[in-house]
Amino acid sequence: MCELTHRIWARPRGEWTRVLRKELPAIADQVVDVLQRSIPEFATLPSVIDRDDAKSFVENALLIALGYREEGAEEPAPRPGRLPAAVPIDRARRQLFAALTGDPCAPEHSLVELARSARWTLPDAVRAVVLTSPGEAGQLASALGDTLLSLADGETCLLVADEGQGTRHTLENVLRGRPAAVGHAVPLAETASSLHWARRLLPLRAQRGAHTPEPVFVDDHLTLLLLLQDESLTRALSGRWLSPLDDLTPRQSERLEVTLLAWLESGGAPEAARTLQVHPQTVRYRLRQIEKLFGPALRDPRTRFELEMTLRSRRLLAQLRRSQARAGRRARAVAAGMRPLGIAREARVNGL
């Protein structure tokens, strides 16, 4: 080590930084060797921390001693693919969850190393579960077996290994009576997709027509989610296919849209009348209006398909906006009912 040090100081001062950068890793390696040989407590160093990470910390200490780095500066992170063995299992599991779901703040460690520290066997396929009752998260995670539990933008989420149809049965039984959204089964590399669509489906639970607290599965609502994938495209479709309704009043337009969709979905005026709960003659009258507005295009199968897709998307978006508006009103009502704390009470709450 002395030889390496002399090699640095023998160079002109202007070259010290360049030489130091080249020689410092070798110096740090020798320092680690000396520490392990000379101090008994350091003999077990490889079992506590990876040797390359130990060298990084020694390099940092040498740079501080030589004045090239300020004391208290952030210490170097472990090399990508390396995870200190001392990471607590709870934190390791949160880090693994973040890495699997594509969180940009996730540590740059390999999934294998993270899974080893988290004591979680990496499955071939996973499902994401988004919960609305954080208080039950631990209990549900235990009931579902070995799961990863973490937060995603404030929402309590689980990652569950998927082992085929039996996994869905287990999820249905454990989550029965609870409002939750379950993502589709995906390969491990696509975990973020399962989580994304489960979170997208959760606020749409009310559109199923039932208000009981039951879990919903992305598998059962693929078409719905596909139609809601991009609101901008939905508006573009509406502008293209529903322009014949532009000159009508909002009430007239809504009535004809509802009738046209019921006719497209059912295939006939009597069936559409039963869906809308109106007289068949009323539906026929509206259909004659629709035919005047849209012309022979209604006889084209592709046009009918795109019209149905457009009308379904508009209906779903309208329902979603109403649901969000109701949630916003409830939140404002709760906030309005909360009395501000007095100064004395606020101080006691804050521990003063």
Structural domains for the chain: 2-65 (no CATH), 123-224 (3.30.70), 231-336 (1.10.10)
What is the predicted pLDDT for the residue at 210? 47
Question: Any idea what DSSP says for residue 215?
Answer: -
Residue 92, pLDDT above cutoff 70: yes
What is the predicted pLDDT for the residue at 15? 53
Q: Quick one: average pLDDT of 330-352?
A: 45
More confident residue, 109 or 337: 109
44-48, 148-152, 180-184, 222-226: which range is least confident on average?
Answer: 44-48
Q: How far apart are CA 119 and CA 115, in angstroms?
A: 6
What is the predicted pLDDT for the residue at 198? 93
What is the predicted pLDDT for the residue at 216? 92
Q: What is the per-residue pLDDT across 288-315, written as a single tens digit (0 to 9) for each? A: 999 999 988 888 898 898 898 888 888 8
**Whole-prediction pTM value?**
0.56
Residue 12, pLDDT above cutoff 90: no
Residue 176, pLDDT above cutoff 80: yes
N-term to C-term CA, the chain: 56
What is the predicted pLDDT for the residue at 21? 60
pLDDT band per the 50, 70, 90 thresholds, residue 342: very low
Kind and range of the H or E run holding 8 = helix 2-9
Residue 110, pLDDT above cutoff 50: yes
Collect all residues with Cβ–Cβ distance below 8 Å to 309 and sequence separation of at least 6.
Answer: 227, 237
Q: Quick one: average pLDDT of 119-140?
A: 89
